[in-house]
Amino acid sequence: MHEKQFIIKEIERLMAPELCAEQLSKLHSVLGHCLLDSADFPLRNTKFDTNEQVLDAFLSAKSVEGCSIRTIGYYSVTLSNFAEALSKPFIEVTTDDVREYLTECQRGGRVSNVTVDNIRRIISSLFSWLETEDIVYKSPVRRIKKIRSLKSVKPVISDESIEELRDGCRNIRDLAIIDILNSTGMRVGELVKLNRPDIDFENRECVVRGKGGKERRVYFDARTKIHLKAYLDARADSNPALFVSLNTPYKRLEIGGVESRLRELGNTVVKQRIHPHKFRRTLATRAIDKGMPIEQVQVLLGHSKIETTLCYAMVDQQNVKRSHHKFIS
């Protein structure tokens, strides 16, 4: 037996009591790669020839996990830009490569630190997947920490602005959309997926399908019930979608359509930027200010982590002051 082969056998014999079958197999590959012909003992998964193939497989995996089409598109653009800037296979990317790329993104103040950290997070997601798939040994992003940014207090929609938006609606559909977003805090992606049978008018609730295909129950108020019923009663189409376009052929309303209508109402009625997510943040803030336990707000919004709920909710400073006087002063 060749001396190196003997050494490999002896190491495997001595380590066998300490390792499981999978670990022994991995040890055998590593020793063969280092001591014998590395071509016969490849350590990397070489099923992808190009970065494009890697990205296609990664995006398919994210799609299976339940990521929305929008998220997949954002991942695709971000990672394609990263791959183009590097001009090297992903398996050869180092931590310094990633740091230099992120530094270049920051240079000149072209994008905010929040955006740069989103880029870091997406690149990290790619390499974590590559590590899980045994395509890289270790993610080069592990040692790159979260990029800090100044946290600004994002404004919510005041009660007065909500009423002005309602008054500014020229049709019952837009009024129903504002009411259901304001009373449930659901995501716009969840809103456009709703069908008529999903609405339980008697109990004033509905089941929405959130990120990753997870379902949760949300609740709406009496005003939403009245306006939603009036909207559905006025419709003459047979589309099962809860919200459809105003004109024939009455197609299901899409995310862009909701955003466009709210943006128009915001600009013309209240002279401020209004978007669907602002209703969600407003509901979270209002619920916490009125004493709803943060864990219940988390369930209401469908967040897997409570930290996300805390980021959404901007607690009113006057309430903080009153609580300080009540409990501390």
255-311 pLDDT tens trace: 999 999 999 999 999 999 999 999 999 998 888 888 888 899 899 998 888 888 877
User: Quick check: is 43 in a domain?
Assistant: no
Residues 119, 254 share a domain: no
Enumerate the β-bridge partners of residue 244: 252
pLDDT of residue 124: 95
- The pLDDT tens digits of the residues spanning 77-122 come to 999 999 999 888 888 888 999 999 999 988 866 778 888 999 999 9
Residues 219, 288 share a domain: yes
Residues 15, 111 share a domain: no
Question: Which one-letter amino acid corresponds to residue 286?
Answer: R
Cα–Cα distances in angstroms (integers) from residue 68 to residues 53, 96, 210, 215, in the given order: 21, 31, 10, 15
- Phi/psi for 199 (5° steps) reads -90, 125
pLDDT of residue 72: 93
Residue 46 in this model has a pLDDT that exceeds 70: no
Residues 90, 205 share a domain: no
Radius of gyration of the chain (CA): 27
Residue 38 in this model has a pLDDT that exceeds 60: no
Q: Which residues of 169-189 are buried (b: 16+ CB within 10 A; e: fewer)?
A: beebbbbbbbbbbbbbbbbbb
- The pLDDT tens digits of the residues spanning 180-206 come to 999 999 999 999 999 999 999 999 999
Q: Is 183 helix (H, G, I), strand (E, B) or coil?
A: helix
CB 199 within 8 A of CB 228: yes
Residues 195, 128 share a domain: no
User: Quick check: is 213 in a domain?
Assistant: yes
Give the chain's domain count: 3
Closest CA to 217 of 307, 296, 309: 296
Residues 227, 166 share a domain: yes
- Using CA atoms, how far apart are residues 91 and 88, in angstroms rounded to an integer? 8
Enumerate the β-bridge partners of residue 144: none
- Using CA atoms, how far apart are residues 164 and 174, in angstroms rounded to an integer? 13
Residues 192, 293 share a domain: yes
User: Quick check: is 40 in a domain?
Assistant: no
Neighbours of 277 (CB within 10 A): 14
Top pLDDT among 223 and 34 is at 223
Residues 125, 56 share a domain: yes
Q: Is 241 helix (H, G, I), strand (E, B) or coil?
A: strand
Residues 8, 76 share a domain: no
Residues 224, 122 share a domain: no
Owning domain of residue 23:
3-27
Q: Is 220 helix (H, G, I), strand (E, B) or coil?
A: coil
Enumerate the β-bridge partners of residue 219: 205
Top pLDDT among 63 and 178 is at 178
User: Quick check: is 57 in a domain?
Assistant: yes
User: Quick check: is 141 in a domain?
Assistant: no
User: Quick check: is 150 in a domain?
Assistant: no
